[in-house]
Amino acid sequence: MNAVVAQQASPELLEVLLDVLGRFLGFAVLAGGTAAIAAVAFRWYSDDELPEGVGVLLGISMVAIWLNTTAALQDAIIGETPLLDSETAVYTVVTFVVSAIAADGGRRIGDRLARDVFVLAAPRTIDDVTQLVRSAGRVVTLELPDEIEDVDGYDPVDDATKADLAGQTLHFPRRLTVDQLRDRFVDRLARDHGIGHVDVEFAADGSIEYLALGSRPAGIGPTLAPGTVAVALRADPAADASPGDAVRLWRRDGDSYRPVTRGELRGTAEDVATVAVDADDAAELEPDADYRLATLPGNPGAERDLVSLLRAADETVTTLAVDEGDPLAGATVGSLPVLVLAIDRGDDPIALPADDTALKAGDVAYVLARPEALRRLSTGSIDGADGAVDEAVDRRTER
């Protein structure tokens, strides 16, 4: 009797299993196809990969909408659910798991296909810069020059990085203005290759005519003022001490402490403190001694803060010597595309000169500017100064 029932139930069970597997396959195709379409659209619009979570969410959402619609129709037409509650829960969980896996796979496949197709379809030659930055429906391509220069006044980028970038082709989203394209290009180099400063000039045909790179100073060294060094000491700073505070160092001498020197606290880690002190006073510090730091009011010197800010800024400080017959001779400070900090005229130095101050032969001007402004000065172009000076002043004021 039992054998007969089992034989009759086997075809029905097999039919149910095939039906369930078919539904799982359909849901997987629905989720994967949705994620693939979304990945293609996202790659076409932004030239970037669709985030993993977004692709999975879109695929599962389409499956959830289908399940809710099917359940609502069954309740309205049949009036009852053919599966038990426990079976429904297991069925739903397995459906979402399968759909999530299929959605991630579809996202990867769609992104790969879109990347290959759009790279092949991207324009290789651009007739003008307007077409370059406003080409609707196409990916913007930039080919880096084979020769990459160093930015004057900045630390050079290592040769391996420049060799890796030389001749590369970068892709950017469509519908970008020239300034937006420049910002995207600089951000891409900073994010992917750690480039701190970029001086780029676009030619009339949209290609990169000039490219120079410079690295941003890293670590504590570039922020130290001349004549100072940073030392690590086993010390006990005040509980509310923070980097930048002026401190006095006291060294244990038996059962008491005696003052040694003054400095600037740069950082703490447990019982170790990093302090910037004068180079001459560093010789008096003993590496194995115990120190105590007393926080002082004010700061150790405004010149240290100025040097630290200048070294960490996007601009650089350099000198411009004005010789006989130089185009800069007779030019006013306000007409230069740089911010003039001081003018050295031998016995008559001028700090923060007024805009109407004219440069003379024999002057040495200390200027603050970005690399492109310094390059314009070196080529004899001193137009467009007012906006550049105002921009530099605004940046200094914000900081």
* CATH value at residue 232: 2.40.30
Of 214, 240, 267, the last residue of a domain is 214
Residues 209 and 234 in one domain: no
Residues 6 and 116 in one domain: yes
Residues 280 and 381 in one domain: no
Q: How many domains would you assign to the chain?
A: 4
Residues 191 and 247 in one domain: no
Residues 207 and 269 in one domain: no
pTM over 0.95: no
Rg of the chain, C-alpha, whole Å: 34
Residues spanned by the domain of 107 = 2-121
Residues 265 and 371 in one domain: no
Residues 91 and 16 in one domain: yes
* 237 vs 250: CA distance, rounded Å: 11
Least confident span in 39-48, 198-207, 300-309: 300-309
> For 81-115, what is each residue's pLDDT tens digit?
454 456 677 777 788 888 888 888 888 888 888 77
Residues 231 and 289 in one domain: yes
Task: Decide: 169 and 143 in contact? Cβ < 8 Å.
Answer: yes
Task: Decide: 217 and 312 in contact? Cβ < 8 Å.
Answer: yes
Of 238, 271, 302, the last residue of a domain is 302
Residues 11 and 99 in one domain: yes
Query: For residue 388, is pLDDT > 70?
Result: no
For 367, phi and psi rounded to 5 degrees? Answer: -120, 150
Is 388 within the bounds of a domain?
yes
* 143 vs 135: CA distance, rounded Å: 16
Is 308 within the bounds of a domain?
no
Cα 193-198-199 angle, rounded to 5 deg:
150
* 141 vs 120: CA distance, rounded Å: 11
Q: Which helix (H) or strand (E) holds 267?
A: strand 256-269
Residues 388 and 346 in one domain: yes
Of 86, 121, 156, the last residue of a domain is 121
Residues 111 and 139 in one domain: no
Confidence class of residue 1 from pLDDT cuts 50, 70 and 90? very low
Query: For residue 128, is pLDDT > 50?
Result: no
Is 83 within the bounds of a domain?
yes
> For 193-214, what is each residue's pLDDT tens digit?
878 788 888 877 667 888 888 8
Query: For residue 302, is pLDDT > 70?
Result: no
Is 153 within the bounds of a domain?
yes
Provide the CATH number for the domain around residue 357.
Answer: 3.30.70.1450
Residues 284 and 343 in one domain: no
Is 52 within the bounds of a domain?
yes
Is 307 within the bounds of a domain?
no
